[in-house]
Structure 1
């Protein structure tokens, strides 16, 4: 009984740290929606993978993304060519005859492929084969040249987030070497999940087996899509068991060990959970059995280390321990793990995170533990995460009108399809962004035309789309309307929108990223639809896509950012508000323009990170300098530009800042 109560206590603690069922579902649904929109009619598709896609939001986890060309397809045998138009699709044939289980060579039988693929090829056995190491280097150079090679990925830092980009190929067919997995799917996963997984085939990532004959040329068969679908099909206790295994690895097994000496990884933990669920080792996966489920997985892991065999879940013949865990390393690891095993479930007391949950029960045996998810998180707390999650997956950057039209057509199709509540609200925000992009693209297209009727129609459509976007978007999205009015010389209309926005941004219940007064927020908009909360109580930074001109005063910064491979500028909402206010009043009342500049100066000089995060201080000082220069305060502008140079160059505007300093002639 004590073990069951401890399990429930750990379950509650894990829900707080990893997420309730509702939180995890919302993360997955939002990620799915973003992927669906971005991949429609694209030549290169992407897929989030790893723990982030599975629904974890751990502080130190990176973001894994897979990219593959849609006009290249991998087949397993020549008979599969009948499913493709070989004049449009470049076909790649698997040759696994000389590779270990789970790996293959990729052969171009017709020697037809895109330039990047052909440049990555080598001659071998009388044929043209794609070298995984060459392809990895080619995609790194063309994509993010400042990244480093890490396994099959190109890795680096984007802002504060670590990323792993894997450029790969896709097959529409399930691998013959994984046929045994289909036969094992009796109780888990359910038939419709298994069929969906098989129907979606697999990927090939650019890394060979360390003990293979062609390490630099081989490709590993990747089941990343299948894996996240399996994780999706877990119940919440099973998902938290997986999370517990990840914490066990990080805080206990690998604690204090150098990265190069770590033998076990998160993938081993996930594989152990997969096997434990499919083998039906624990009849009931529920909160009171969470620790029992962990113990089952730990014993399975211990058995694998003892035997030196960790069978891949899809291709059991692929022993994932083969290249690292053998000999003295295997013996040493087994002794460490067996020492933990002898301590029983008390071994989890070595985890700082889990210890507190267990001690609560040990110190108070009569403690009642409530595992109902509705008591674990408040409405405001859930909304904070939901909105941040939507923004984190919000990356529709396009300056192409045709792509905008395709996006809007996709939105139109999705409106009539069955969507979850989280997908609906995510789709609304995506739609607002697409409408904003389309409005400014249309305006820029017809700015210099001589046909007045076309200009009139374009302006009317643009204005309508921006107002529609504001209905779907956040409070801060109203500033796009103000930008448009300023751009079209309607300064009073712009100031009217700015004034309305200022009132809403000043409300004590406003949610800005993760900052919110939860009590006031709940009092003001609690129980209302997320669409209403968007319009009334949520703000975000202003995002200016660098290939679209929004206001001419920021064109040098956008061009500088674009030259440095940044797709957009990110500007704090109050900075943009005071900037626009100062610009508009310059044409109406210079005194009020100076007053707006003074407000901007106070904000930039004295903010302690409450409104302007460290990542946005470069552009904030820059905008202050622009306003000061336009007002004739050249010494103050020089100081602001120098301050911009001293900040972290998140927006990559250094070239523009340097140029503005030269133009001051002081």
Structure 2
């Protein structure tokens, strides 16, 4: 193994292949990565297209957007106001309507490379910007330090400041949220990056990257003249496109280095563990690929590629210089990796380097894939991704990207969304993108149907109401033909809210029959043998229509069921755009509501089933994160029947659960009203 770094050890290619297979199992095959990226990418295209000028744009960034789903991976988001734009020089102001757009000038003359001051040019702005302004040299600038403080708890409370981000934990996942500003062009001094792209990325990707936006995140240079006021330039979109331009072996090398950082480098000592981060790893991979350090990136060369990246990282630590990929003059190590701590880190990395690739044996995740080959040199290794990842795993990759949620707030946004989808249908889509587009289309159609009905119910005369009703019914049925097997419940909700209880009950009955199929794919309920026997080899679209059930998403600006209006209002007040309801909870809820008008015996039976489900389910039918709304719905049903004590207990249980849906304000109001009833 000592000769591995030089590539002369017989069997190194086999070890590389074994690690390649292992990384496919850990990180994902190229198919699985494509599925994840398709879901995120298409949602972003639609969301940006429908956003009005007054809204904020929210973009997933970082490793999750790149396609990683490893344990411990962070969720990184960038949020910026759609009606604010940064310009690089005053001449660019002519391209914007200042009546509706706030212009901000990037004034970087006194800032180090990669950093800038943001000067407010136009008086029209929001309260956030007004609260962060400082005056310097007769000009008004947006202070990055004040901006970080003002956005600390938005949108999640109990966040902490981590670099330019608000950081914390939400539903067990670490998140970083950077509130930033966007610029439609790159700074001039970053455009020279194109001159380095002789072989990677290819010219088409390079041209596309140069059309990307760049962003300004709220953190200054630690040695800058105006650290508290400066902003750092982020090329997050360009970086994502560079990651997309990697072949799968390069992407797995990137993943292997991330694991190596987490499980080996950062475990050397507590003192040095905060020094290197995933961004340094990504930067090393970019430079290694672009400099043609390895001519052929393939499974047999995976460990050679890993070693080339590690050697570059070691060199950077020795020199104390980690050049930003787009602005090399920006040293990412400055004021972080220097002095005595730099020497300690270098010595630790040097010790790993001396061990050669045997240092990978210190990685608990990768170790077994190396040992398997070392103890069995004649082991046959199949690197065919179709064998490594079977049909079940690819389908799981699809299901794990649900639910796809959008921010649809007005009729104009529905129209825009449909127009965008119509345009996308005629573009060149991959199989995975087409499947994601189908899911997005169903969501948009459902929202449109309920919005039309809500609008017509309050404003239309009988004839108009009849027309809107027919349209809404028709498009909901149309959506159900392309959606998953739980989507007809939107039709049932529509029928119930429009007082057609028998029709709603009929849809519920039909849906329950489909949910009882042995090949149902829902949460952890998944009989894989039955699933493959019934649907093996069929398209994802077919599987989705015949076997997939999803929890029900209610957009909180649209009324679906009158009985849940207080919960939707509470969620909106607490900055939550959707309610997530377990599908079996909703079925029993709808049954209870409908049968109250048809058959009281069946209504009580539905309530009994709901009570058993909520009280005794162990996570099979009720996701732990959705227990707040599940107990709430049980309480609503009990309150309707007049069982006040049971309703009070259910509401109190709802308050004790994780507030994923943020309905606690409604729950507290319901408890207060019930206590008032008892006191009378």
* TM tier relative to shorter chain: over 0.9
Spell out the pairing of 1:363-374 with structure 2 (5 A cutoff): 363-374=375-386
1:387 positional shift? 2.1
- The answer on 1:249 being equivalent to 2:258 is no
Task: Find the residue that maps to 2:117 and give its secondary structure.
Answer: strand
1:515 positional shift? 3.6
Task: Find the residue that maps to 2:113 and give its secondary structure.
Answer: coil
- Do the aligned residues in 2 keep the contact of 1:384 with 1:511 (CA within 8 Å)? no
- The answer on 1:27 being equivalent to 2:36 is yes
Deviates more, 1:312-321 or 1:644-653: 644-653
Query: Quick one: which of 606, 614, 622 aligns to 1:604?
Result: 614
**1:50 aligned partner:** 62
Q: In the aligned structure 2, how far is the partner of 1:518 from the partner of 1:78? A: 61
- Do the aligned residues in 1 keep the contact of 2:221 with 2:227 (CA within 8 Å)? yes
* CA distance 1:113–1:80, change in 2 (3 Å): same
Can you list the C-alpha shifts for 1:217-255, whole angstroms capped at 9, x where unaligned? 011111111111111001111111111111110000102
**1:296 aligned partner:** 308
- The answer on 1:571 being equivalent to 2:595 is no
* CA distance 1:414–1:224, change in 2 (3 Å): same
Q: In the aligned structure 2, how far is the partner of 1:255 from the partner of 1:539? A: 42
**2:108 aligned partner:** 96
Q: In the aligned structure 2, how far is the partner of 1:199 from the partner of 1:521? A: 44
* CA distance 1:46–1:648, change in 2 (3 Å): closer
* CA distance 1:70–1:544, change in 2 (3 Å): closer
- Do the aligned residues in 2 keep the contact of 1:644 with 1:657 (CA within 8 Å)? yes
1:157 positional shift? 3.0
Task: Find the residue that maps to 1:27 and give its secondary structure.
Answer: helix
1:372 positional shift? 0.6
Q: In the aligned structure 2, how far is the partner of 1:604 from the partner of 1:173? A: 53
**1:12 aligned partner:** 21
Deviates more, 1:303-312 or 1:336-345: 303-312
Query: Quick one: which of 319, 326, 330 aligns to 1:307?
Result: 319
* CA distance 1:96–1:641, change in 2 (3 Å): closer
- Do the aligned residues in 2 keep the contact of 1:175 with 1:201 (CA within 8 Å)? no
- The answer on 1:661 being equivalent to 2:671 is yes
Task: Find the residue that maps to 1:474 and give its secondary structure.
Answer: coil
Can you list the C-alpha shifts for 1:452-471, whole angstroms capped at 9, x where unaligned? 10110111111112111211
Query: Quick one: which of 60, 73, 83 aligns to 1:61?
Result: 73
* CA distance 1:79–1:554, change in 2 (3 Å): closer
Q: In the aligned structure 2, how far is the partner of 1:562 from the partner of 1:66? A: 21
Deviates more, 1:256-265 or 1:450-459: 256-265
1:634 positional shift? 3.4
Gapped runs of 5+ residues in structure 2? 1-9
Q: In the aligned structure 1, how far is the partner of 2:122 from the partner of 2:297? A: 51
* CA distance 1:655–1:110, change in 2 (3 Å): closer
- The answer on 1:416 being equivalent to 2:426 is yes
1:69 positional shift? 2.9
Deviates more, 1:352-361 or 1:181-190: 181-190
Q: In the aligned structure 2, how far is the partner of 1:46 from the partner of 1:647? A: 28
Q: In the aligned structure 1, how far is the partner of 2:307 from the partner of 2:192? A: 27
Query: Quick one: which of 616, 625, 629 aligns to 1:619?
Result: 629
**1:652 aligned partner:** 662
- The answer on 1:351 being equivalent to 2:363 is yes
Q: In the aligned structure 2, how far is the partner of 1:622 from the partner of 1:76? A: 52
Q: In the aligned structure 2, how far is the partner of 1:118 from the partner of 1:652? A: 29
Query: Quick one: which of 179, 182, 193 aligns to 2:205?
Result: 193
Q: In the aligned structure 2, how far is the partner of 1:58 from the partner of 1:652? A: 27
Deviates more, 1:199-208 or 1:284-293: 199-208
**1:117 aligned partner:** 129
- The answer on 1:546 being equivalent to 2:556 is yes
1:193 positional shift? 0.9
Deviates more, 1:109-118 or 1:222-231: 109-118
* CA distance 1:114–1:588, change in 2 (3 Å): closer
**2:486 aligned partner:** 476
- Do the aligned residues in 1 keep the contact of 2:50 with 2:408 (CA within 8 Å)? no
Spell out the pairing of 1:300-339 with structure 2 (5 A cutoff): 300-339=312-351
Q: In the aligned structure 1, how far is the partner of 2:428 from the partner of 2:253? A: 31
1:46 positional shift? 2.9
* CA distance 1:596–1:89, change in 2 (3 Å): closer
- The answer on 1:276 being equivalent to 2:315 is no
Can you list the C-alpha shifts for 1:608-665, whole angstroms capped at 9, x where unaligned? 1111121111221222222223233333333323322332222222333333334444
* CA distance 1:555–1:85, change in 2 (3 Å): closer
**2:167 aligned partner:** 155
1:485 positional shift? 0.9
Task: Find the residue that maps to 2:261 and give its secondary structure.
Answer: helix
Q: In the aligned structure 1, how far is the partner of 2:130 from the partner of 2:571? A: 32
- Do the aligned residues in 1 keep the contact of 2:159 with 2:166 (CA within 8 Å)? yes
- The answer on 1:285 being equivalent to 2:297 is yes
**2:6 aligned partner:** none
Query: Quick one: which of 527, 530, 535 aligns to 2:540?
Result: 530
Q: In the aligned structure 2, how far is the partner of 1:367 from the partner of 1:647? A: 50
Q: In the aligned structure 2, how far is the partner of 1:91 from the partner of 1:98? A: 20
- Do the aligned residues in 1 keep the contact of 2:47 with 2:407 (CA within 8 Å)? no
Task: Find the residue that maps to 1:352 and give its secondary structure.
Answer: coil
Query: Quick one: which of 587, 598, 602 aligns to 1:592?
Result: 602
Deviates more, 1:655-664 or 1:431-440: 655-664
**1:37 aligned partner:** 46
Task: Find the residue that maps to 2:586 and give its secondary structure.
Answer: helix
Q: In the aligned structure 2, how far is the partner of 1:436 from the partner of 1:297? A: 48
1:565 positional shift? 2.2
Query: Quick one: which of 209, 212, 218 aligns to 2:224?
Result: 212
1:180 positional shift? 3.3
- The answer on 1:341 being equivalent to 2:350 is no
Can you list the C-alpha shifts for 1:569-609, whole angstroms capped at 9, x where unaligned? 21110111011111111111111111112211221222111
Spell out the pairing of 1:396-545 with structure 2 (5 A cutoff): 396-449=406-459, 451-545=461-555
**1:183 aligned partner:** 195
Gapped runs of 5+ residues in structure 1? none
Query: Quick one: which of 401, 426, 436 aligns to 1:389?
Result: 401
C-alpha RMSD of the superposition: 1.9
**2:5 aligned partner:** none
**1:3 aligned partner:** 12
Deviates more, 1:514-523 or 1:284-293: 514-523
Query: Quick one: which of 366, 377, 391 aligns to 2:389?
Result: 377
Task: Find the residue that maps to 2:553 and give its secondary structure.
Answer: strand
* CA distance 1:599–1:5, change in 2 (3 Å): same
TM-score (norm 2): 0.94
- Do the aligned residues in 1 keep the contact of 2:272 with 2:344 (CA within 8 Å)? no
* CA distance 1:320–1:543, change in 2 (3 Å): same
* CA distance 1:479–1:41, change in 2 (3 Å): closer
1:85 positional shift? 4.4
TM-score (norm 1): 0.96
Q: In the aligned structure 2, how far is the partner of 1:521 from the partner of 1:65? A: 35
* CA distance 1:486–1:324, change in 2 (3 Å): same
